[in-house]
């Protein structure tokens, strides 16, 4: 035990390397990364966004960042599967903590999220955000597009999120429509995977519906994504309700008929060729979860996003 330590989120002297905390104890940052607002030397930064005032059904995603961090504790110490490496040997990752939001003044929420994200993005670090409901992706997209220009959106979800709004609403079901109208995303090279509901408008975005995802192999789904997106800069957003409720019951708007976590993780693993500039995992609502099924799925998706980032850095 002499070589081991605990509470790596606070006691770590470096932002690289694995922690040695027991999986069942210690301070719970994302994958035991050091909590810090000092990000100048970070390759990637984790940001929590505890917001769920935009949901149209069951609230609770404000607790998503906490749940994802807690579930992520099982991933540290060993080389992360399926990347066959300690992701933090050559990649410096910091957990920045959460955005401070005023629960009584939601109109300030988008600006607060965008400003915090822009600060992190300006450092040159890859930003991985943990929601929160899917509205949070709107200010995140704006912050990323301000640096990278219009982005191809790769969107895993049961819903298109293209419902009408007045550009003022705080709504988790309309951020894609707003992003297209304002030129934040490139609709011609954006794609949605797992859609199992209807919306009045698709804005020309390519859709792989739930039944198509069921019929296609993970390889075929991946090839469709890569061919459609090409070499455009990408924002990757993952609504946990993309997964069937059997694999992600803890979410606000579950829809039956979705893919398994195994299938979608296989797709994510193959997305290395994409030029991913930022990513998020949203809509984990632990109050409706069982045995952390959804939180584990969300933490695993986030870990895969970091794994892809580590591989890109290794190729430089």
- Residues 6+ positions from 270 with CB-CB distance below 8 Å: 218, 219, 222
What number of other Cβ atoms are within 10 A of residue 23's Cβ? Answer: 11
Q: Which two tokens stand for residue 239?
A: 């609504």
Q: Determine the topology of domain 8-314 in CATH.
A: 3.40.800
Confidence tier at 153 by pLDDT (50, 70, 90): very high
pLDDT tens for 11-56 read: 888 888 888 888 889 899 999 999 999 999 999 999 999 999 999 9
Q: Is 215 annotated as a binding residue?
A: no
3-state secondary structure 40-108: CCCCEEEEEECCCCCCCCCCCHHHHHHHHHHHHHHHCCCCECCCCECCCCCCCEEEEEECCCCCCCHHH
Residues 59, 53: Cα–Cα separation, whole Å: 7
Mean pLDDT, to the nearest integer, of 240-260?
A: 98
Question: Quick one: pLDDT at residue 12?
Answer: 86
pLDDT at 90 over 80: yes
Mean pLDDT, to the nearest integer, of 123-142?
A: 97
Bridge partner residues of 119 (DSSP): none
pLDDT at 289 over 90: yes
pLDDT at 187 over 60: yes
| E runs forming strands in 144-300 | 152-156, 191-195, 206-209, 233-239, 275-282
> Residue 257, exposed/middle/buried by CB under 10 A (0-12, 13-18, 19+)?
middle
Q: Is 239 annotated as a binding residue?
A: yes
* Domain residue spans of the chain: 8-314
How distant, in Å, are the alpha carbons of 41, 118, 178 from that of 184? Answer: 28, 15, 8
Question: Quick one: pLDDT at residue 2?
Answer: 52
The percent of residues above 70 in pLDDT, for the chain, comes to 98
Helix (H, G, I), strand (E, B) or coil at 191: strand
The angle that helices 109-122 and 137-148 make with each other, rounded to 10 degrees, is 40
Question: Quick one: pLDDT at residue 171?
Answer: 85
Q: Which two tokens stand for residue 276?
A: 């991913």
Q: What region does 31 belong to: left with phi over 0, alpha with psi -120 to 50, or beta?
A: left
Q: Which two tokens stand for residue 111?
A: 């600006």
Question: Quick one: pLDDT at residue 189?
Answer: 98
User: Which is nearest to 209 in space by CA: 219, 220, 198?
Assistant: 198
Q: Is 228 annotated as a binding residue?
A: no
How distant, in Å, are the alpha carbons of 47, 95, 147 from that of 118? Answer: 12, 16, 8
Query: How are strands ordered across the β-sheet holding 34-35?
Result: 34-35, 93-98, 44-49, 126-131, 275-282, 233-239, 152-156, 191-195, 206-209
What are the backbone angles phi and psi of residue 129, rounded to the nearest 5°?
Answer: -105, 145
Element (H, E) at 34: strand 34-35
Q: Is 102 annotated as a binding residue?
A: no
Q: Average pLDDT over the chain, rounded to whole?
A: 94
């Amino acid at each position: 035990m002499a070589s081991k330590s605990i509470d790596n989120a606070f006691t770590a002297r470096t932002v690289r390397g694995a922690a040695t905390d027991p999986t069942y104890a210690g301070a719970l940052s994302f994958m035991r990364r050091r909590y810090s607002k000092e990000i100048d030397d970070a390759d990637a930064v984790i940001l929590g966004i505890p917001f769920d005032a935009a949901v149209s059904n069951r609230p609770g995603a404000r607790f998503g960042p906490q749940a994802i961090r807690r579930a992520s504790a099982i991933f540290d110490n060993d080389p992360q599967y399926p990347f066959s490496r300690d992701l933090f040997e050559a990649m410096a990752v910091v957990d920045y903590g959460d955005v401070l939001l005023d629960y009584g003044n939601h109109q300030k929420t988008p600006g607060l999220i965008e400003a915090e994200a822009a600060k992190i993005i300006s450092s040159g670090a890859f930003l991985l955000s943990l929601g929160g409901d899917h509205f949070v992706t709107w200010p995140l997209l704006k912050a990323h597009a301000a640096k990278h220009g219009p982005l191809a959106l790769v969107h895993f979800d049961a819903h298109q999120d293209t419902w009408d709004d007045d550009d003022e609403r705080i709504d988790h079901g309309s951020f894609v429509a707003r992003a297209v109208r304002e030129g934040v995303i490139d609709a011609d090279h954006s794609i949605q995977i797992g859609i199992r509901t209807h919306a009045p408008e698709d804005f020309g975005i390519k859709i792989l519906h739930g039944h198509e995802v069921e019929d296609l192999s993970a390889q075929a789904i991946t090839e469709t994504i890569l061919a459609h997106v090409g070499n455009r800069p990408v924002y990757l957003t993952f609504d946990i309700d993309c997964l069937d409720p059997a694999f992600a019951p803890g979410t606000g708007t579950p829809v039956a008929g979705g893919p398994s976590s195994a299938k979608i993780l296989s797709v994510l693993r193959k997305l290395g060729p994409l030029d991913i500039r930022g990513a998020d995992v949203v809509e984990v609502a632990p109050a409706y979860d069982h045995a952390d099924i959804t939180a584990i799925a969300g933490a695993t998706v986030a870990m895969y996003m970091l794994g892809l980032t580590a591989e890109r850095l290794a190729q430089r």
